[in-house]
Chain A
């Protein structure tokens, strides 16, 4: 700790000078470290140990920095304010799922970012999801790893918005990303590998649920992408571009219970080595191709493929 102690001393004055404008009860930046203590103030000179303490200490709109490699929770972390939680580059910031999801967001109107985190379950602890969001908040997950969970990696219910960028989601037993009843997702530069299923947009209410997936690999699993609607007035839409979907049971699934609409639209992508290249089923469901996809060497297909022109 010699290094960081010196750093902290140097920072003590700087922080006082720099952040005196925000001299308030809560911190713009709250700090966590493996040798921190939750009785501390969560400052750089006196960091806390676990996320709940830092979430209490940090101001709305602030940041939580994990300063070194460690695990930073002992139960589900409920995020109730706008905040960025990040491990500094070079550190592994672990948040484990224990007795539920690793991270839960139930409040609305928040802006939350998770950056450079590793989310895995503690085995046999009753872990469920990686990130669970039911509040109508905006969540960004970037440069992170979400793996091995017994249920979904990211599970969003309601009108929340999620951005997943440059992240690996693998070996989860449920869906990599589950979106339901009004959720909206943008997924880019991400590896979705050997999950139970890939990406789901599901409307069981009269809402519009969408996902846009770019520059992403989906490999293995039952479903690649699935737009599914089960109610009149429900809309699900999945847009896929510059992606590869391989070695799944069904790569492109658009399905309704003969009510509502479901759409999967795909361009610039390779769909190969799947059992079903597409599975279009139910009135109001469409699998649309923009005519520039590499669809070969899949075993079978169900339903029709609807062509549309590039413009």
Chain B
């Protein structure tokens, strides 16, 4: 820590000078470090150790920087303000799930970004999901890893909005991404590898739940993408483009219980080496192909495939 101690001393003055314009109770940037202390003010010169302290210290709309590689929580981290949490490039910023979710968002109307984080469970600790969002907030997850959880990687309930970019979600025992009852997701440039299930859009209430997936790989799961509606007025929709779905039990799955609407629409994608290329089941369920997909070498399929024209 010699390097950083010197850096902090130099910074003590600089930070004072630089950010004196924000001489307010809360910080624009709160800092965490492996040798920090939660009794500190979470400044660069005196960083804190764990996320709850930094979340208290940071202003709404501010940032939390993890300065070096370490784990930064000891229990579920509840985020209750708009904030970006990031590990500086070159550091592993770990947030473990123990006794519940690693990260929990229940408040509405927040704008939250998680960047360059690694989210895994502490084994045998009662860990559940990686990120659980029940509030109608906007969450971006970018350049992160979400792995090995005993339940879902990302679990969104209600009308929250989630953007997942350039992230790896792998080896989770639940869904990589679970979206329910009004959630909206955009997933791009992401690798969804060997989870028990892939991406779910599920409406059990009269809401519209959507996922748009681009430039993403889903490999090895029971479900690839799954749109599921179980109630009248419920709509579940997944749009897939420039993706690969391989080695799943069912790659494209659209299902209703005879009520509601479920749709999977796919273009410019490769669907191969799956057991079911598609499953279309229940009134109001549609699997739609735009006619430019590579669907080969799947064992079987169930229900009908609806074609639509490119425009």
B140 with A291: CB separation less than 8 A: no
A217 with B239: CB separation less than 8 A: no
Contacts of A148 in B (CB 8 A): 61, 84, 111
Given contacts A91-B90, A219-B212, A272-B212, contact A294 B265 (CB under 8 A): yes
Shortest distance from the beta carbon of B100 to any chain A beta carbon, whole Å: 27
Closest A residue, CB atoms, query B62: A123
B263 with A122: CB separation less than 8 A: no
Q: In the bound complex, what is the Cα–Cα distance between A272 and B28 (angstroms)?
A: 37
Q: In the bound complex, what is the Cα–Cα distance between A9 and B288 (angstroms)?
A: 64
B3 with A3: CB separation less than 8 A: yes
Shortest distance from the beta carbon of B280 to any chain A beta carbon, whole Å: 16
Given contacts A147-B113, A273-B212, contact A295 B311 (CB under 8 A): yes
Contacts of B17 in A (CB 8 A): 74
Q: In the bound complex, what is the Cα–Cα distance between A1 and B186 (angstroms)?
A: 42
Question: B2 at interface (Cβ–Cβ under 8 A)?
Answer: yes
Question: A49 at interface (Cβ–Cβ under 8 A)?
Answer: yes
Interface string of A134-146 (1 = CB under 8 A from B): 0000000000010
A170 with B113: CB separation less than 8 A: yes
Interface string of B78-96 (1 = CB under 8 A from A): 0000001010111000000
Contacts of A270 in B (CB 8 A): 212, 214, 239, 241-242, 267-268
Q: In the bound complex, what is the Cα–Cα distance between A305 and B3 (angstroms)?
A: 60
Which residue from B28, B142, B212 sits with its C-beta under 8 Å from A246? Answer: B212
Question: B10 at interface (Cβ–Cβ under 8 A)?
Answer: yes
Shortest distance from the beta carbon of A179 to any chain B beta carbon, whole Å: 23
Question: B22 at interface (Cβ–Cβ under 8 A)?
Answer: yes
Closest A residue, CB atoms, query B210: A273
Given contacts A49-B14, A292-B292, contact A217 B188 (CB under 8 A): yes
* A1-B2, A220-B138 known, 13 other contacts, Cβ within 8 Å: A4-B3, A89-B89, A91-B89, A120-B84, A123-B28, A123-B62, A170-B140, A191-B188, A193-B163, A193-B186, A244-B242, A289-B311, A297-B237
Q: Which 8 A-B pairs have the closest CB atoms?
A: A90-B90, A35-B10, A294-B267, A219-B186, A270-B241, A246-B212, A244-B214, A272-B239
